[in-house]
Amino acid sequence: MEQKTQERRKKLICELVEDELYVPMKEKELAIFMQVKPEERAELKQILDELLAEGKLQITKRGKYLKGDGKKQDEELIGTFISNSRGFGFVEIEGREQDLFIPESGVNGAFHKDTVRVELLKEQRGKRPEAKVVAILEHAVNRVVGTFEKSKNFGFVIPDNDKLSSDIFVPIERSKGAVNGHKVVVELTDYGDEKHKPEGKVIEIIGHINDPGVDIMSIVKGFELPTEFGEKVLNQAERMNKEVSESDREGRRDLRDVMMVTIDGEDAKDLDDAVNVCKVGENYHLGVHIADVTNYVQENSALDREALNRGTSVYLVDRVIPMLPHALSNGICSLNQGVDRLALSCLMTINQKGEVTDYEIVESVINVNRRMSYTEVKKILEDEDKETIAACEELVPMFKLMQELSGILREKRKKRGSVDFDFPENKMILDEAGVPLEIKPYERNTATKIIEDFMLLANETVAQHFYWMEMPFVYRTHDMPDPEKILKLGTFINNFGYFIKIKTGENEIHPKEIQKLLGKIEGTAEEALIARLTLRSMKQAKYTVNCTGHFGLACQYYCHFTSPIRRYPDLQIHRIIKEQIRGRMKEERMEHYKAILPEVAKHSSEMERRADEAERETEKLKKAQYMESRIGNIYEGVISGITAWGIYVELPNTVEGMIHVSRLTGDYYYYREETYEMVGRDTGRCFKLGQKVRIMVDDVDRLSKSIDFLLAYDEEEE
């Protein structure tokens, strides 16, 4: 039987069994119903067996076929165990939409991040599938960072990671002389069991918990972030030319006479993008020039292997852990003012509608006219500051063109449905000892939007170019949200009088619906809350070798091309771009990239997640420290989350704390999940998401990075 016929019959059978009027049939009954000829019965049996194996069909004891449960036959349920501090956990299984819930009784000694084999429980009580761990296949955690506590004849380490619920026992002879309050790295020698705690030995003393910088370094060690570069890597970086040589310029487009600028934050040191704009007739000519890092980081060199291992630079509250050594990232690769630099340039012609009508991607040599900050450009375009305008007189007309073009590009993205989450960001000001002094808001302005718009367009243009060339590539993709999360979001926003349109029968949503919702809530009291809940309903963007589109940007083609100093995927695709430009992308190189890119994309996504988590943890820590000196203070905040164990309140400075359900006095409160409310059983008093409340800072736990609030007294009296 032909493949097309087979696929058509597969689809027909699936549609049949999914119909609500379908009555389960045996194989013979299906054959008669589908008018299968006798000589094709064997092929029908083969199709049914394949659908059973794929989990699209199930078969009863009496041999009748019905709709499958999605679980493949004889499928080994193997995944990653994610522990919870309260004893239970979850198992993530690749390719399975929903995680499995593991009750405390079913954990069976599994550690956070272990690879485990699980078995579904016969009795399913909750909405999420429940399972138990039947085998631990591989331990992922072999080192733990925590606080050392000494007893008379032994010590123990309290893990910083709250997903590790058990202390680590340390024999006194293996404590390396650690004392109470030392932050240490302990290597596990025994993972323990139901009767025994895990056991380990101290391999590094980071410092005392009260010493400056030890808190952040503990997080760095906990996430196993590499802090030092090896000698071989540093030597390679130091041997690089400090200036662009004549041989480097050969064969490149000479753009040194083109007026261009870099626009970054005041404290930025690794400048990897420069821009220029001019206008010819009705069209804009935009140049986005990106540092040609691959000229200095050769494939499979020590520098390249280290960059791949790190995957990304990590930006913590008090330091940056770079992907490349400073000799490169702040030196020859950085597009510093007034010096020749090598670049990859995306030169685009854009019409009045914001459409790219023509473009070139070329190897170039550039010379940046001026290094500008976001603040300076804002002063020129928004504040019309005379002093700044006078200092940059020859550049002002170009900045005004940039503002024009940025507005056109932003409007075009808006029309197609691009989602723009404009959350208030903050910057922490620390003293020399790392103590937080101030949490300042960091606002997007005209200048930040200009650079954002230009980088998005360059990324999109490059991705589309290489997609149609059918070349191995690394894309930045963002999948459509889970239907279940969107339905829950829809239910919640109905409480505020908003709604989102979902495709009937498909449970799919167009990004324009999210954009419309964000537009409707703009300026309202519930804006921050609904925007945050909407963001949580989205999937995470990731790196892939398949171009499946970017939901949030409402575009089909997208990649990361503009930051090769701090992101490995950008560095990787620069190599592909250059090989294509130079005509070297032959069959052998195509096969090479097809072989390595899936792992590059997967590893880069994982390293990005690790960096994000480490950044969040350092922020939580410093926010907790900041609130330590403010215990007893009263603030007004907004309820940002409600769970069965308490109410989360966010303050205007983005600090979040929790009022435990047991501290809600005057009634017995319970959590109403379907409406995300905390309700008093006797009084009927109700706490809702987005509601303003006055709180008092009650306690701070620096170890768990948690902040406890109480309702302010006048609030309770009301």
Asked if pLDDT for residue 473 goes beyond 50, the answer is yes
Cα–Cα distances (Å) from 494 to 148, 332, 488, 689, in that order, read 50, 55, 10, 13
Does 74 score more than 50 pLDDT? no
Query: What local confidence, expressed as pLDDT, does residue 1 receive?
Result: 45
Residue-wise pLDDT for 339-374, tens only, equals: 999 999 999 999 999 999 999 999 999 999 999 999
Mark whether 156 and 283 lie in a shared domain: no
**Tokens 């590893």 -> residue:** 603
Identify whether 536 is part of a domain: no
3-state secondary structure of 243: coil
- What region does 568 belong to: left with phi over 0, alpha with psi -120 to 50, or beta? alpha
Instruction: Answer yes or no: do 63 and 97 share one domain.
Output: no
Of 542, 495, 554, 531, the residue nearest 688 (C-alpha):
495
Residue 516 lies in a domain: no
- Encoded amino acid at 193, one letter: D
Tokens found for residue 459 = 């990324």
According to DSSP, the β-strands at 475-477 and 542-544 are antiparallel
How high is the pLDDT of residue 717?
45
Q: Are 196 and 266 members of one domain?
A: no
Q: Are residues 129 and 174 located together in one domain of the fold?
A: no
| Beta strands per DSSP E along 209-259 | 253-254
The DSSP string of 521-584 is: HTTSTTHHHHHHHHHHHSPPPEEESS---BTTTTBS-----S-TTTBHHHHHHHHHHHHHHTT-
Residue 714 confidence (pLDDT) above 60: no
Nearest to 203 by CA among 287, 250, 146: 146
Q: At what angle do helices 396-416 and 374-381 cross, to 10 degrees?
A: 90
SS (H, E, C) 507-525: CECCHHHHHHHHHHHCCCC
Instruction: Decide if 174 contacts 154 (C-beta within 8 A).
Output: no
Q: List, in sequence order, every residue forming a beta bridge with 254; answer none if it has no partner.
A: 365
Task: Say if residue 148 is in the same domain as residue 202.
Answer: yes
**Is the model's pLDDT at 256 over the cut of 50?**
yes
Q: How far is CA 575 from CA 13, 216, 479, in A?
A: 47, 35, 26
How far is Cα 312 from Cα 607, in angstroms, rounded to an integer?
A: 7
| pLDDT-above-70 percentage for the chain | 94
Last residue of a domain, one of 138, 161, 186: 138
Instruction: Quick: pLDDT tens for 635-683.
Output: 999 888 888 889 999 898 889 999 999 888 778 888 887 677 889 888 8
Percent of the chain at pLDDT exceeding 90: 54
Phi, psi (5° rounding) for residue 67?
Answer: -60, 140
The answer as to whether 545 is a domain residue is no
Q: How many structural domains does the chain have?
A: 5
pLDDT in tens, 19-60: 777 778 888 888 877 778 877 887 888 888 778 777 788 776
Torsion of CA 694, 699, 702, 706, to 10 degrees: -50
Which residues, other chains included, contact 678 with Cβ-Cβ below 8 Å and sequence gap of 6+? 642, 647, 661, 664, 669, 670, 671, 672, 686, 687
Evaluate if residue 61 carries a pLDDT over 80.
Answer: no
Whether pLDDT at 72 is above 60 = no
Is 608 within the bounds of a domain?
Answer: no
Q: Please give the structure tokens belonging to residue 613.
A: 């988590």
Mark whether 131 and 179 lie in a shared domain. Answer: no
pTM of the full structure = 0.82
pLDDT in tens, 561-602: 999 999 999 999 999 999 999 999 999 999 999 999 999 999
Verify that 236 and 369 share a domain, yes or no. yes
**104 and 202 within one domain:** no
Q: Look at residue 673 and tell me if it is in a domain.
A: yes
pLDDT, tens digit, 9 for 90 and up, residues 606-646: 999 999 999 999 999 999 999 999 999 999 998 888 888 89
3-state secondary structure 149-197: EECCCEEEEEECCCCCCCCEEEEHHHCCCCCCCEEEEEEEEECCCCCCC
| pLDDT at residue 148 greater than cutoff 60 | yes
Is the pLDDT reported for residue 379 higher than 60? yes
Specify the amino acid at residue 67.
K
**Mean pLDDT of the 90-98 span:** 80
State both tokens at 157. Answer: 């380490």
pLDDT at 180 exceeding the cut of 90:
yes
The tens digit of pLDDT for each residue in 184-213 reads: 999 999 888 777 889 999 999 999 998 988
Report pLDDT for 126: 66
Please give the single-letter amino acid code of residue 584.
Answer: R
Task: Kindly state the helix (H) or strand (E) to which residue 608 belongs, with its residue range.
Answer: helix 587-628
- 468's CB contacts (< 8 A; 6+ apart) are none
Neighbouring residues of 700: CB distance < 8 A, sequence distance ≥ 6:
624, 625, 627, 628, 631, 706, 707, 708
CATH classification of the domain holding 161: 2.40.50.700
Q: What is the pLDDT of residue 39?
A: 78
Residue 168 reports pLDDT greater than 80: yes
pLDDT for 406 beyond 70: yes
Q: Is 550 contained in some domain?
A: no
| CATH code, domain with 54 | 1.10.10
Taking phi first (over 0 means left), then psi (-120 to 50 degrees means alpha), and beta for anything else, what does residue 440 get?
beta
With respect to residue 588, please indicate whether it lies within any of the assigned structural domains: no
Mean pLDDT of the chain: 88
Task: Clarify whether residues 303 and 438 are in a common domain.
Answer: yes
Encode pLDDT of 295-314 as tens digits.
999 999 999 999 999 999 99
Dist CA 193 CA 109 (whole Å): 6
Burial class of residue 671 in the structure, from the number of CB atoms within 10 Å of its CB (0-12 exposed, 13-18 middle, 19+ buried): middle
- Looking at the structure, tell me whether residues 98 and 158 fall in a common domain: no
Closest by alpha carbon to 529, among 667, 656, 375? Answer: 656
Q: State the Rg of the chain over Cα.
A: 29
How big, in percent rounded to 5, are the helix, strand and coil portions of the chain? 35, 30, 40
Q: How many CA atoms lie within 13 A of 110 on its CB side?
A: 34
In sequence order, what are the residues at sequence separation of 6 or more whose Cβ sits closer than 8 angstroms to the Cβ of residue 483? 502, 507, 508
Last residue of a domain, one of 138, 160, 182: 138
Answer yes or no: are the C-beta atoms of 706 and 624 closer than 8 Å: yes
Backbone angles phi, psi at 258, to 5 degrees: -80, 130
> By mean pLDDT, which of 2-6, 80-84, 684-688, 691-695 is the weakest?
2-6
At residue 67 the predicted structure's pLDDT band, cuts being 50, 70 and 90, is confident
Domain co-membership, 151 together with 125: no
Contact 49, 65 (CB under 8 A): no
Domain boundary among 138, 156, 179: 138
* Domain with 90 in it: 78-138
Q: Is 70 left (phi over 0), alpha (psi -120 to 50) or beta?
A: left
Instruction: Please indicate, yes or no, if residue 147 is contained in any of the structural domains.
Output: yes
The pLDDT of residue 424: 62
Task: Please check whether residues 122 and 167 belong to one and the same domain.
Answer: no
pLDDT at 503: 65
Give the separation between CA 707 and CA 658, rounded to whole angstroms: 6
CA 308, CA 552: separation in Å to the nearest integer?
Answer: 27
Least confident of 62-71, 227-236, 411-420: 62-71
φ and ψ of 220, to 5 deg = -60, -45
What's the CA gap between 350 and 546, in Å, rounded?
27
Domain holding 100: CATH number? Answer: 2.40.50.140
pLDDT score, position 482: 80
Q: What integer pLDDT is reported at residue 2 of this predicted model?
A: 60
